[in-house]
Amino acid sequence: MGLIMFRPSRSWRVALVYDLHCHLLPGIDDGAETDETALEMARMAVADGITHLACTPHIYPGLFENDTNSIRDALTRFRGLLEEQQICLTLGMGADIQVVPELLSRLRSGTFPCLNASRYFLFEPPHHVPLMNFVRFIADVLSAGFVPVITHPERLVWLEQYYEEFLTVARAGAWLQLTAGSLTGRFGSGPRYWAEKMLDAGVVHLLATDAHDLHNRPPLLAEGEVAACRFLGVEEARRLVHERPAAIWRNKDPDQLPLPPGLLSQGSSRTGKSRGIFRFFPGRRN
C-alpha cells in the first residue's frame, strides 16, 4: 500500500496490458510466500498498468511438482482473495515448465497447463547447463501443434555459445520472451546486453515480468516497454505487452499475427502445422 509506481503516459500505452509470466500464487513455488505478499504484488501490478496476468508457477521435477489441478486449485483460491480485496486484475493460468521426458505427452493430456488453455506454453530451459538436443526438442513440440514460449533466454548462462540456436527456433515458430527487468539492468549487465541484442535483432515476441516478490523481482512491466521503445519504436513495443500476449490469451493462430521485425524476411512457417518447419532444423527429416 502507498506504493508509487512509474507508469508511461496513456497517450501511448494501450488500455490492456498482459503479463504472461508471473509467480504470484502464494506458497506454491519460489514466488510469493504469503497471501499478503501476493496481494501486494497484485496491487503493484495494477498500479503499473497490468490488466491481465497469467499465474505461472514452476513445474520443476524434484523441486516443484505442480500440475494443472494443483495450480487451478491455488488460482481459484487466490481469485477469491482478489475479489475480497477489490483488486481489479484478470488472472489466467499457466506454468513455467522445465524440460522433462514426458513433457509433450503431459501437454497433450492436459496435466501440464498451457497459457490460459491455449496452444502456447511457457518453456524454461535449464539456467546453467545447455539443454541437450534443444533444437530437436523444439521441432518436436512445434510439429505436435504447440507453441513454446521460451522464457528469459537472455538470462541463461550458456546463451552466448548457443545464440544461433535460439535464432533458429525463433525462425521456425518458437516464441522468445524477455524479462522486463533485464532491460533495466535488474539482473546485471550480461542479461541486459543480451536482451538489448535480441531486441535490436528484432527476434523478441513478448515481454513479461517473471515476478517473484515485491523488491528484487517485482511485477513491473512498464519499465521494460519503455526500454524496448528505444530499439523497436512504440508500435512494436506495444505488441510485446499487448497484441501478441492478447493473442495467446485468446488462443489465436500465430500465423495470423505480425512477426517480430527481424523474422519477417525469414519466411518462417511459424507453427508445427506446416511440414516445411523442418527446413529450419539441419539434419531433421519427416
- The CATH number given to whatever domain includes residue 105 is 3.20.20.140
Taking the C-alpha atoms of residue 117 and residue 11, their distance in angstroms, rounded to an integer, is 32
Flag whether 8 is in a domain: no
Q: Give a yes or no: residue 2 inside a domain.
A: no
Question: Phi, psi (5° rounding) for residue 203?
Answer: -115, 10
Q: Per the structure block, which three cell numbers stand in for 41?
A: 504484488
**Considering the domain boundaries, does residue 12 fall inside one?**
no
| CB proximity list for 169: less than 8 A, separation 6 or greater | 134, 135, 138, 139, 148, 150, 280
In a domain, 36, yes or no: yes
Residue 7 lies in a domain: no
What pLDDT, on a 0 to 100 scale, did the predictor assign at position 14?
56
Split into its structural domains, the chain has a count of: 1
What type of residue is 94? G
pLDDT tens digits, residue range 229-278? 999 999 999 999 999 999 999 999 999 999 999 998 654 444 444 434 44
Q: What pLDDT shows up at residue 264?
A: 87
Write out the residue range of the structural domain in which residue 257 sits: 18-280
Angle at 164 between CA 160 and CA 242, to 5 degrees: 95
Instruction: Note whether residue 272 is domain-resident.
Output: yes
Q: Which pLDDT value is given to residue 269?
A: 46
Residue 244 resides in a domain: yes
**DSSP designation for 18:** E
At 6 the pLDDT is 39
User: Could you tell me what percent of the chain has a pLDDT over 90?
Assistant: 82
* Cell numbers standing for residue 190: 550480461
Residue 211 CA to residue 30 CA, distance in Å, equals 10
For the chain, list residues with pLDDT below 50: 1-12, 267-279, 281-286
Global pTM value: 0.89
Cβ pair 115, 149 in contact under 8 A:
yes
Indicate whether 141 belongs to any domain: yes
What is the predicted pLDDT for the residue at 266?
Answer: 56
Q: Which of 224, 214, 257 is nearest to 3 (CA)?
A: 214
